[in-house]
Amino acid sequence: MSTRTKIAALLQSREFGKEFTVKGWVRTFRNNQFIAMNDGSTLNNLQAVVELNSMDESLLKRLTTSASISVTGELCASLGKGQAVELKVKKLEVLGDCDAEKYPLQPKKHSLEFLREKAHLRFRTNTFAAVFKLRHVLAFGIHKFFNERGFVYMHTPIITASDAEGAGEMFKVTTLPFEQTPRNPEGQVDYKEDFFGKATNLTVSGQLEAELGAMAFGEVYTFGPTFRAENSNTARHAAEFWMIEPEVAFNDLDDNMQLAEDMLKYVIRYAMDQCPDELEFLKTRLLEEEKQKPQEERSEMDLIAKLQFCLDNEFQRLTYTEAIEILKNSNPNKKKKFKYLIDKWGADLQSEHERYLVEKHFKKPVILCDYPKEIKAFYMRQNDDGTTVRAMDILFPGIGEIIGGSQREERLDKLETRMNEMHIPASELYWYLDTRRFGTVPHAGFGLGFERLIMFVSGMGNIRDVIPFPRTPKNADF
């Protein structure tokens, strides 16, 4: 194979007169002369120019959208608009033909719904090239953030025997035959006959295992897939998604809030620095989309201004109790415009309430803390009032909750009492309780839904458009 130059590098080059070989896919071919080609290294296309009557007509007919080609030619300054350089073709080879009659992604605008049905091909569009480049950069930025701060990256198990959230919405993992499932004398499934000898499931969180690591390394984080068997078809839910979960020994809730704010600002800044072309493209795309909406539904800021706004402002911190008072006295609540009206303390806040606080009341990101213990998980540290726990949620414009976390309950007696109240068997989590028996310390952590972060940074409105192969109810293609 001849050495190739990536298009991203060639577009920056000014080595005019030098010969280069590039390989990629045809985006468009017009006037039997101008090939727009892309190799995935940049959103921008390279124009390769074929001299008229210099190539066999049968070869040129094969230059259809998405055909793969190898081009060798001389780099020249471009006289046309939109590009500084172009390649004067000396040698052209079709590496892979693409039948124009059958190829479903012709060079025109396609709806996101249509492209979800062609998820195996949608990476070839500018929109998804931008989104998934952003996904890569945000993932790298997260690892960079924690690595620079001395955190240890832990790989927590995907197959577990515990339910970290107590939600029960889990995918079971089994090798037992469905037709003749072995049963014990009581008629229940006999999991002793199963592969692991007990009931197992796909993980909903790596938090509990990460806490074990934090009790040795001090600062750890996980970054991996998690699974919820929740039959939800909203734009914000998927059955398979990725989570970032740091756990830090000796941190309290205030430390936890600051770490989360610092991380979000760091990775947003990193994405803005590394993906200016992608964000500019997505900003323009979003502005075009918003033109179809009524004026009152349009965003007050464009995509890049919104990201910069989050960097420039300290996140507003307030308690759940303070938030309930604000919501109870808000116009949407008084005029019954909320779908879920706030009438008393203890209500589980919905996305509409979270977005009101962020977008209408404070007009900046918000961190809520000290939630009622009845609506939170068993492992959260109980406050002295006996009714609230040291939980926190970070709320972002357009998204609602993007991070959920807490200071963990480090006191063995309090933790065991709470587990009993919630009917969580202590015998199955003996290993977790051992961290409280042997050298317990105050500690805290949080979970960031990676896809929600990508939705915020990219401006995409549906989680199905920020994960390469979405897993949703009745959908497990590709």
Instruction: Specify the pLDDT at position 2.
Output: 61
Q: What is the C-alpha separation between 406 and 246, in angstroms, rounded?
A: 11
Question: Residues with Cβ < 8 Å from 40, sequence gap 6 or more?
Answer: 24, 129
Q: Provide the b/e sequence for 326-358 (b: ≥16 CB within 10 Å).
A: bbeebebbeeeebeeebeeeebebeeebbbbbb
The average pLDDT across 207-229 equals: 96
Instruction: Specify the pLDDT at position 207.
Output: 95
Computed over every residue of the chain, the mean pLDDT equals 94
Model pTM? 0.93
Please name the fold of domain 7-96. OB fold (Dihydrolipoamide Acetyltransferase, E2P) (2.40.50)
Percent of all residues in the chain with a pLDDT value above 90, rounded to a whole number = 85
Which residues lie across from 92 on neighbouring strands?
71
Give per-residue pLDDT as tens, 32-85: 999 999 999 999 999 999 998 889 999 999 999 999 999 999 999 998 788 899
Nearest-CA neighbor of 34 among 14, 60, 67? 60
Q: How confident is the model at residue 135 (pLDDT cuts 50, 70, 90)?
A: very high
Q: Is the pLDDT of residue 355 over 70?
A: yes
Q: How confident is the model at residue 299 (pLDDT cuts 50, 70, 90)?
A: confident
Q: Is the pLDDT of residue 454 over 80?
A: yes
The average pLDDT across 338-350 equals: 94
Least confident of 121-130, 143-152, 206-215, 395-404: 395-404
Instruction: Specify the pLDDT at position 80.
Output: 78
The residue with tokens 């006295």 is: 329
Instruction: Specify the pLDDT at position 223.
Output: 98
The average pLDDT across 173-195 equals: 91
The average pLDDT across 302-318 equals: 94
Q: Is the pLDDT of residue 165 over 70?
A: no
Query: Do the two domains 7-96 and 124-169+204-465 of this chain adopt the same fold?
Result: no
Name the residue ranges covered by the structural domains of the chain: 7-96, 124-169+204-465
Percent of all residues in the chain with a pLDDT value above 70, rounded to a whole number = 98
Please name the fold of domain 124-169+204-465. BirA Bifunctional Protein; domain 2 (3.30.930)
Give, rounded to a whole angstrom, the gap between the first and last alpha carbons of the chain.
30
Instruction: Specify the pLDDT at position 168.
Output: 60
Q: Report whether 10 contacts 22 (CB < 8 A).
A: yes
What single-letter amino acid sits at 245? E
Q: Which two tokens stand for residue 34?
A: 């101008």
